[in-house]
Amino acid sequence: MSARDLWPGLALLALIALMPFVASNTVLNFLLSALIVALAAQGWNILGGYAGQLSFGHAAFFGMGAYATAILQIRYGVNAWAGLAAGIALGAVVGWVIGALSFRARLRGSYFALVTLAFAEVLRILANAADFTGGAAGLLIRLSPGVENLQFPSRAVFLWLVAGTVAAVLLLTAWIARGRFGARLVAVRENEDAARALGVDVLAVKLRAIALSGAVTAAAGCLYAQNFLYLDASIAYGTWISVEVLIACVLGGAGTVLGPVLGALALHGVGEVAKIVLGQVAGPVPGVDLVVFGALLVVGIAFLPRGVMGGLRRLVQRFPR
Amino acid sequence: MAEAVANGLLAGAAYALVALGLTLVYGVLHIVNFAHGALLTLAMFAAWGLHAAFGLDPYLAILPMAAGFMALGYGLQRWVIGPASHGDDGNTLLVTLGLSIVIENALLALFRSDTRTLGADSGFDVVELGPMLLSRPRLIGFGVSLLAAALLWAVLSATDTGKAIRAVAKEKLGAQLCGIDPRHVYAVTFGLGCACLAVAACLLLPTFYVNPRVGNAFVLVAFTIVVLGGMGSIPGALVGGLFVGVVESLGGLLLGESLGQLGIFVIFILVLLLRPTGLFGARA
């Protein structure tokens, strides 16, 4: 049933891919950062949405990907595409390690949320203190546009790359959701003990979910680094990304194929509008977009507990064809 | 060294009070209240505002602040968190996270990230105790924290409300059948948790700074304490608080400030991984 979300999703991404022909650079920049958040949120969705393990620390994976690409390029002169691959692999490894530690200790629910948050914070403090990561001053990736450096002179090509990645993960998610693995994820989410009784290897399923989730979110981190060419510890491992991907998924519809993408685009849009509107009234005010995000989270859970996708589905079911 | 231990104990008392509110809410509602840190920040801003606007001494503000935050907490749980989460634990977790984001960033938007202090010198008053020099506000904070904890203990064990709270914590359905309204009890508990925060905020203010992110510094410490002491255990929160205060003080002395921060998180992760039921918690 969730594969039905696939076509509208691909159509939406195709529409976004056409934007460079009509829209200004401001709009393209907005779409780029929204799609990067969408990609990170797709990662969260596999673990939090399908497998039901709420992570409050996905910044750990996002930052791992971002730092891996940046450090490999700057310190070791590795090609950016290889850096991207390494970042994705590292995201999966870190996910697996965090998962192996915390799922083996049988942490779930709020305990799992807390421990993921703590892992992200530890990484942030370490990245902020170490020389290796550029410390508090952060890292600058040298500007040298060229396909081989994963930097493009025009915003359009990068947008196509990011939109293509989001589309690929959309396909991957739809494929997982239809298959055996997706069914196992949902079984673990709905009732872990029942799933175990039916012969599902709960630990293995969770580990695969968190590794995959970490890899996807790390890819978003790599692309973030390549897009902005700058990062520091509070960007890469900051709570903002953990919070934004979580809210994007919950609002869009956790455990649906299209939910995270819709949620991220809507959330980012609302945040920008809030910043602009309040900015015109009172000058730049820090934190306004986050106030709106938090309020949307509370209101969303109160009135649309299954997210926008759940709401749409209910609407569709109310009018039988 | 002895001074570091004593200072750690004094700081730990304030931690214990923050953790007490958290553990109480967890013990009864069975949810981790992610808004706890943001509510502490709010309380510190409120106490600071009372001082800045009316010259009210933070120690005199303890009682009105506690009453005000009791009411605030009651309202939040009764009309926001409870109805919004439809009785699902995962939703409650997310709603409190949403609340914390709103509170913290609203404070950031209003007050910017400037750091404020009371501006009085009283923060540096010291008391000589044998060979040690101890800060007077911290000593007062220690005494009042223990008093507040004792008071909470008395409320829980001796009053009808306390009995109702314990009944709901143990067996919600049974309590409901005895004519207790769990929604009311939940809200009262949440209010008590917030009142603890208000007291802690008043005690911290003379020696601490206030900015929109200050609660974060405490909330992870408080989570660590609660996990260490056992989720929902009140003596656990007290002992855990004092212990973490000492560890932090010694860690700062031996490792320096920036890595001393790390110690808390490492303890936190280790406790969660190795003994998630804590030192005093019942085996799950």
The nearest alpha carbon in chain A to B112 belongs to A286
Per the structure block, which two tokens stand in for B104?
């913290």
CB contact under 8 A, A105 and B273: yes
Instruction: Establish if B150 belongs to a structural domain.
Output: yes
ipTM: 0.84
The nearest alpha carbon in chain A to B222 belongs to A114
Task: Check residue A63 and give its pLDDT.
Answer: 96
Contact A152, A22 (CB under 8 A): no
Task: Check residue B175 and give its pLDDT.
Answer: 86
What is the full per-residue pLDDT of chain A (321 aa) written as tens digits? Answer: 455 678 888 888 989 988 888 888 888 999 999 999 999 999 999 999 999 999 999 999 999 999 999 999 988 988 999 999 999 999 999 999 999 999 988 888 888 988 898 899 889 988 988 888 887 788 888 888 888 888 888 888 999 999 999 999 999 999 999 999 999 999 999 999 999 999 999 999 999 999 999 999 999 999 999 999 999 888 899 888 998 999 999 999 998 999 999 999 999 999 888 888 887 877 777 778 888 888 999 988 888 888 888 888 888 777 655
Per-residue confidence band for B260, with pLDDT thresholds at 50, 70 and 90: low
Partner residue opposite B276 with nearest CB, options A107, A122, A298: A107
Q: What is the mean pLDDT of residues B57-80?
A: 92
Q: pLDDT of B131-161, one tens digit each?
A: 777 777 788 888 888 898 889 889 888 898 8
pTM (2 decimals)? Answer: 0.88
Task: Check residue A33 and give its pLDDT.
Answer: 92
The nearest alpha carbon in chain A to B104 belongs to A291
Residue B283 has pLDDT above 50, yes or no: no
Q: For residue B62, what are the domain limits?
A: 2-274
Instruction: Establish if B279 belongs to a structural domain.
Output: no
Q: pLDDT of B194-203, one tens digit each?
A: 999 999 999 8
The nearest alpha carbon in chain A to B266 belongs to A122
Greater pLDDT, B115 or A60: A60
For residue A242, give the amino acid letter. S
CB contact under 8 A, B105 and A288: yes
Tell me, yes or no, if B104 comes closer than 8 A to chain A by beta carbon: yes
The residue count for chain B: 284
How much of chain A exceeds pLDDT 90, in percent? 52
Instruction: Establish if B284 belongs to a structural domain.
Output: no
Mean pLDDT, rounded, of chain B: 83
Partner residue opposite B32 with nearest CB, options A106, A110, A301: A110
Q: For residue A113, what are the domain limits?
A: 2-318
- Give B97's contacts in chain A (Cβ within 8 Å): 56, 243, 246, 294, 297
CB contact under 8 A, B95 and A122: no
Task: Check residue B278 and give its pLDDT.
Answer: 63
Per-residue confidence band for B280, with pLDDT thresholds at 50, 70 and 90: low
CATH number at residue A231: 1.10.3470
Task: Check residue B122 and give its pLDDT.
Answer: 57
Which chain B residues in 19-48 lie under 8 Å from chain A, judged by CB atoms? 31-32, 34
Per-residue confidence band for B284, with pLDDT thresholds at 50, 70 and 90: very low
The number of folded domains in chain B is 1
Which chain B residues in 240-279 lie under 8 Å from chain A, judged by CB atoms? 258-259, 261-262, 265-266, 268-269, 272-274, 276
CB contact under 8 A, A243 and B212: no
Instruction: Establish if B282 belongs to a structural domain.
Output: no
Per residue, the 3-state secondary structure of chain B, as one string, reads CHHHHHHHHHHHHHHHHHHHHHHHHHHHHCCCCCCHHHHHHHHHHHHHHHHHHHCCCCCCCHHHHHHHHHHHHHHHHHHHHHHHHCCCHHHHHHHHHHHHHHHHHHHHHHHCCCCECCCCHHHHCEEEECCEEEEHHHHHHHHHHHHHHHHHHHHHHHCHHHHHHHHHHHCHHHHHHCCCCHHHHHHHHHHHHHHHHHHHHHHHHHHCCECCCHHHHHHHHHHHHHHHHCCCCHHHHHHHHHHHHHHHHHHHHHHCHHHHHHHHHHHHHHHHHHCCCCCCCCCC
A111–chain B nearest CA distance, Å: 8
Task: Check residue A51 and give its pLDDT.
Answer: 94
Per-residue confidence band for B272, with pLDDT thresholds at 50, 70 and 90: confident
Q: How many Cβ pairs closer than 8 A exist between chain A and B?
A: 123
Rg (CA), chain A: 19
How much of chain B exceeds pLDDT 70, in percent? 90
Instruction: Establish if B162 belongs to a structural domain.
Output: yes
CATH number at residue B206: 1.10.3470
**Test the A interface: residue of B104, B105, B261, B266 with most A CBs within 10 Å:** B105
Instruction: Establish if B96 belongs to a structural domain.
Output: yes
Instruction: Establish if B283 belongs to a structural domain.
Output: no
Greater pLDDT, B82 or A98: A98
Task: Check residue B256 and give its pLDDT.
Answer: 67
CB contact under 8 A, A243 and B101: yes
The number of folded domains in chain A is 1
Distances (CA, A) of B160 to A168, B36, B77, B179, B180: 60, 26, 20, 13, 11
Task: Check residue B118 and give its pLDDT.
Answer: 72
Instruction: Establish if B37 belongs to a structural domain.
Output: yes
Task: Check residue A263 and give its pLDDT.
Answer: 93
